[in-house]
Amino acid sequence: MKLEIRNLTKTFGGVRAIDDVSLDFPSGSLSAVIGPNGAGKSTFFNLISGAFPADTGQVLLDGDDVVRLSKTARMQRGIGRAFQVASCFPTMTVAENLTAAVTAHVGQWGNLSRRFPPPGVRERAGEVMELIGLSHVANVEAAILSHGDQKLLDIAIALALEPKVLLLDEPTAGMGPEERWRMIERVRGLWEQRKLTLIFIEHDMDIVFRIASTIRVLCYGRLLAEGTPEEIRNNQSVIDAYLGT
């Protein structure tokens, strides 16, 4: 699914967190959004997912403007984002969390019984666990998972809702080097397998340069540059604003 952002703007008090940003994310693309702390990266995702209303601008999904829709409606249209860990059910197991997410997706919240999920739901939850590599902890409570596995569970819950566009805000935050690469390999695998339009925010430039086909740089809420890893690596204004140190 193609995502096009047109003249998106959001202010908080006097701060222009996102200032007239326009960007295209072609169907099936894998892009990174980078930039200094406070650049507006998370706000950009919040405006796309509908967590916050935009002041002005458009969010076009295959040409349809969804900017006035609620976040639930946008999710139903195919925009997914990894939930914060806090929004999974900590005392439920990985399998139960995913079963709940799939049940919600098939519109059967009223039927949210741990023991008797609607038909097919357990199988779908199992597929997602397999895909993301959490099958070995299927029966572990979410609260006691390792940090890396909790992040994977967040992504798995997002995937259970079958997004076409997936937004990942710093999926490797707080991970050691080895765990980081493991996460990124899985994310890349998902992207390939599900033909997702995937956009991720990431600080680790080795990861960004290695896996993103297009990189977008935000700075003070504005689009500072966009291009291939090669172009961004050699862009003087990006070096000055972000890469230089």
If the CB atoms of residues 16 and 105 are measured against Mg ion, the closer one turns out to be 16
If the CB atoms of residues 33 and 128 are measured against Mg ion, the closer one turns out to be 33
Q: Smallest Cα–Cα separation from 44: which of 223, 210, 225?
A: 223
Q: Which residue is nearest to Mg ion (CB)?
A: 42
Determine if 43 is a binding residue for ligand ADP (CB under 6 A): yes
- Report the interface residues with Mg ion, using CB under 5 A: 41-42
Please say whether the beta carbons of 82 and 155 come within 8 A. yes
The continuous run of DSSP H or E covering 41 comes out as: helix 41-49
Q: Which two tokens stand for residue 90?
A: 């900590």
Q: Smallest Cα–Cα separation from 164: which of 240, 80, 82?
A: 80
Q: How far is the CB of 231 from ligand ADP (least distance, A)?
A: 21
Q: Which two tokens stand for residue 147?
A: 């940090």
| Rounded CA separation 86/88 (Å) | 6
Please say whether the beta carbons of 35 and 157 come within 8 A. no
Only one of the segments 30-38, 129-137, 179-187, 227-235 lies at the binding site for ligand ADP (rule: CB under 6 A); that segment is 30-38
Q: How far is the CB of 55 from ligand ADP (least distance, A)?
A: 13
| Rounded CA separation 172/180 (Å) | 5
Determine if 41 is a binding residue for ligand ADP (CB under 6 A): yes
If the CB atoms of residues 49 and 97 are measured against ligand ADP, the closer one turns out to be 49
Determine if 15 is a binding residue for ligand ADP (CB under 6 A): yes
Determine if 40 is a binding residue for ligand ADP (CB under 6 A): yes
Which residues lie near ligand ADP (CB under 6 A)?
12, 15, 17, 35, 37-43
